[in-house]
Amino acid sequence: MTAVTHTSQAARQIVLDTETTGLSAENGDRIIEIGCVELIGRRLTSNNLHLYLNPERKSEEEALRVHGISDEFLRDKPKFAEIAAQLLDYLRDAELIIHNAPFDVGFLDKELERIGQTPLASHVADVIDTLAMAKEAYPGKRNSLDALCERLEVDNSGRTLHGALLDAELLADVYINLTRGQEALLIDLGEVGQDAAGNAPRIDLTAFDLPVLRANDEEAARHAAVLVELDQASGGKTLWRKLDPSVT
């Protein structure tokens, strides 16, 4: 077990992953491993949290093939109730980043319910589901963690089995690459001051005369072809089709 001190910072994000005895928290499956990686200002801090847990039950064979963590290894590990306070203190008020968040949150909520604690959402600022983000960014494509690592050029060559801490580290890189375009839109304000609320001053753009460059016929045709491809890949669920069904 690796435990680290809590870092209190603005814009604190925790990339979280779990391994479990099976796929159904409602049917009694339990968490056996929790891996957390801290990001401050989109940078890794090394202030990570890694816990193995005694689930008080055996792992299903299919789950065991995925994570490779034996029942014998977990027998002397702490139960969730013993580490709950440490985990909640580490996660408190952070924004969580989780791949397929409903799965991990569902398991954590069930564990918290067993010890009389409130759901995870009451302890953290927000939960970001990178699977939902990936489906929006890459409709119709495989969006597993391995697929995203390959697509976004994140090295996952060391991932022969699933492991919560390793998967959280990989997901941190995936998230940063997946949202890099958003970061590029931010303006470096340098020494420009902020108001009392910490907001940057508004910039008057009315003085700028920006040219309008319109697409020529060839560019418009290529654009229309891309829209058709996206619409087909999403099964007709693109926003422009919803707004105007006549668009083809």
The per-residue pLDDT for range 76-105, each reduced to its tens digit, is 999 999 999 999 999 999 999 999 999 999
Point out the residues that are catalytic: 162
Q: How confident is the model at residue 167 (pLDDT cuts 50, 70, 90)?
A: very high
- Specify the number of domains making up the chain: 2
pTM: 0.70
Mean predicted confidence (pLDDT) in 216-231: 85
Q: How confident is the model at residue 9 (pLDDT cuts 50, 70, 90)?
A: very low
* Strand residue runs (E) in 21-144: 31-40, 43-44, 49-52, 95-98, 126-129
Whether 77 and 140 share a structural domain: yes
In this predicted structure, what is the pLDDT of residue 205? Answer: 61
| Residue 221 in this model has a pLDDT that exceeds 90 | no
The answer to the question of residue 203 being in a domain is no
The answer to the question of residue 3 being in a domain is no
Whether 62 and 159 share a structural domain: yes
Q: How confident is the model at residue 198 (pLDDT cuts 50, 70, 90)?
A: low
Give exposure, 124-148, as e/b (b: 16+ Cβ within 10 Å): beebbbbbebbeeeebeeebebeeb
What residues make up the domain containing 28? 12-184
| Residue 1 in this model has a pLDDT that exceeds 50 | no
Q: Choose between 198 and 228: higher pLDDT.
A: 228
In this predicted structure, what is the pLDDT of residue 49? Answer: 97
